[in-house]
Structure 1
Amino acid sequence: MQLTERRALWPTIKPYLAVFDGPLALIVFLILSVSTICMFSAGLDAPGRFEGHMRNILISFVVMWIAAIMPPAMLMRIAVPLYTVGVALLIAVATFGIIKKGARRWVNVGVVIQPSELLKIALPLMLAWFFQKREGQLRWQEFAVAGVLLAIPVGLIAKQPDLGTAILVMSAGFYVIFLAGLSWKVLIGLAITGAASLPVVWSVLHDYQRQRVMTLIDPTTDPLGKGFHIIQSMIAIGSGGISGKGWMKGTQAHLEFIPERTSDFVFAVYSEEFGLVGNLVLLVLYLLLIGRGMLIAANGPTVFCRLLAGAITLIFFTYAFVNMGMVSGILPVVGVPLPYMSYGGTAFVTLSLGLGMLMSIQRHRKLVQS
């Protein structure tokens, strides 16, 4: 009797347990394994940081599972309300938000939250829903409306100011618009317009943002101030050589020359200890994750699924590219974490929510085929 009951129970609970996409889950596991090893070393002199990192991994797993069991139809239903709430909270931030370190990015709604993080997922959801509803009848007007839906939250976030998050949110929305079929002629026109407007953009940048750009061009102009982060991270990356100095043997990190070594600049710690070989391993893992995500996007059963999966995948590319670029001195420092490597609960939750949606799309496709 008990054996029969167990056999009857398994088909009931199986849909809630077997929700993860195997290849994607394996890649994420490998990245998190590298992350755990690196964070143990980077957080050695920061009590509680490694434990917090492990807690964030556990929370992200739960978030990923919840998102994975949600069918794409439910994701479509929450797209508009989520976007609306997100924009409303951004307006609340601009009106009576909490100011910390000169930036107004938080609002108290019983708990203190940063609404801009919500838009990293809400915006691509909204735009994917928008293009799904207009499938087969896309004209320039539809792309213009999508541009407005994109510009509203990006403008509100940039005003806080939070350039790093604004870039990520703008990228997430732009990817959906591009994948929906935006003309190359329009893209070239936008690129020319953007280049021509650089003097105007420069004039409206905050002083610290201008300093970041100038520091990128020549960090040695202020080696003990604005250029310190970049100079020290570049020294750490270069000193790692081919095979690195060895785990927990990075002098730049453990002598505290690298600021924010467990968060934005964790890649410098990893590069110093594991060298070029370790960097190539990490790059391959990210490329595999992006490749698997794009494969899921290409096989999505609906326009909504394809656009959402493609945008989420390219968000990972943006995170990795911008972080590695700024730590290497190729891009300005904008405070973008390295996916699943940098310490930070918010980024873990956001990225895991996106991966869970990817797994939901893949699982739904299999159910439709069967």
Structure 2
Amino acid sequence: MGAHSKGVVHLDAPAVPGADETQAKESKPPAPQRDRYFDSLRALALIRVVAYHTFGWAWAGMVFPSMGIMFGLAGTLMAKSLERPALKVVKSRIRRLLPPFWFWGVFVVLAMLIHDWIPNWEIVYWVVPLGDPPGNAWGEQAWEILWYLRTYLWFVLLSPLLLRVFRLAPLPVLALSLAPILVLNFLWSGPDNRFGTALWDLSTYLFCWMLGFAHRDGVLQRMKPAAVVVLSLAAIGFGGWYAFAHQADFGTYDLDEDPLAQAFWSAGCVLLLMWAKSSFGIDFAWLTRFRRTNRIVTVFNARAVTIYLWHQIALILAVPLIDQFWNVPAFEKYLPLESQWFMFGISWLLIGFFVLSCGWVEDVAAKKKPKLLP
């Protein structure tokens, strides 16, 4: 969710006051270099999320498990950040997350109030989403995506403890991070409330988050290739088998409806992606040669929270907008107004509008100068 970059070696500042301008310029630290491999994965994950919410493809999560990948990337970044004092890091992460959420929430809450929503004390979850924020059925399509922010927030709060435990015994702890979802699925389903829902989501993606720690600490790089491939394929195989074997229970093989299948499928895929990065040093540096593509990846990463929050509203608004196109004879004749792909395209135009008009909040949250585009 946040921006991440490789470590940078800073050159020493001029030792003598009044050193010439050339020396001063040479003494400036180089700009941080972004890891285009991780940036590209995050951009693809966001595109897949929008596509899934547009087309509803049940197979999309198996082709590219976006949420597992995003939690894995966030875990890597968190482990890197925790090289600094933990309290500072947690405060920084919360500060970067909450202002964009509040800004977006003002519009959603006001719209629901206008449409007869009567809130109670649970509206506090619209301030700090430690539990799912409440709302009415009218606004459900907008606020149902907040589970990701809630889960991310809990992982941020728990990370100082999780990282400490992980470093006691990296591989055993990593393996045991799949235990909670097995317990919830087979032994105890947890309480039927906000805490129980959060527990399920945390358990589903705990392994992916811990994989981020493993990548950052070099644990994956030390694993034998054969073991990684066998374990990854075994996890993917079990997740896929469970999803298809329990279609009757969930009404679909969609991983988003089946936490256990999601946990294992995501675990296997993210393990392969993270291990490949560690072992082969993949950085996608070649991407910088393609200016437009590189620019798009940059924008996606700098505006990830904005894109995620506003994409459902873009999809909602696309429907009445396309309805108006039917009133224009030329549009009706030449445009594929009934196609979901057309709706997908219109939604991205609206997402672009929200990035331009609302993305600056992410800059403010990061204590940067607000920009139209990063």
Q: Is the pair's TM-score, using the shorter chain for normalization, greater than 0.5?
A: no
Q: What's the TM-score bracket when you normalise by the shorter of the two chains?
A: 0.3 to 0.5
Q: TM-score, normalised by structure 2?
A: 0.37
The structure with higher relative contact order (CA 8 Å, sep 6+) is 1
Q: TM-score, normalised by structure 1?
A: 0.37
